[in-house]
Structure 1
């Protein structure tokens, strides 16, 4: 019913958020379970890319409209592994443009001008 249907999944998440905001313990536990799964995914990428020490990651997507219901347990889980979750500074498109500019431009001034334009 909801498999591969982003619209229906987003609608379900809105209902889940309403329930959590009304104090529904099961809804809150679902956000905690989602945070656990996200932490496992982030941890796997962390290990695969052979990061070490403190690492900063960010997030995007509709799930994070749930605010502290998803962010607090996710922060807690990531901190156990030395990973810091920070709010996004730019939109996903802006971040991708900055990464592409940094990767393909040897001109530091060009990247500085792009960053200045985004702020």
Structure 2
């Protein structure tokens, strides 16, 4: 198998762009369609002998750079099919720095720069 996520491992970060993960009904959305609306962290990778496929578990990043158990199960190929792409930055580090800045009352930017 040759693909975008062939060598994905637990700990890898994923992004979901707005044009793949959100639908706005009832009006035009003038915001950037490539903006990141969800961050996923690969928590597990396993082979299912019954289905004869490799799967990954993806947990959604929460405030403070925390994430829990996986909430999404995808095949390796299904990650790209469902709109995920490799992360453009270390989102866990960014979330921790953002929340630390908010705690001390520092001015923090709302939109992360790439």
Q: Do both proteins adopt the same fold according to a TM-score greater than 0.5, normalized to the shorter chain?
A: no
Hey, which of these two has a bigger chunk of helix by percent?
Answer: 1
Higher relative contact order (CA 8 A, sep 6+): 2
Structure with greater Cα Rg: 1
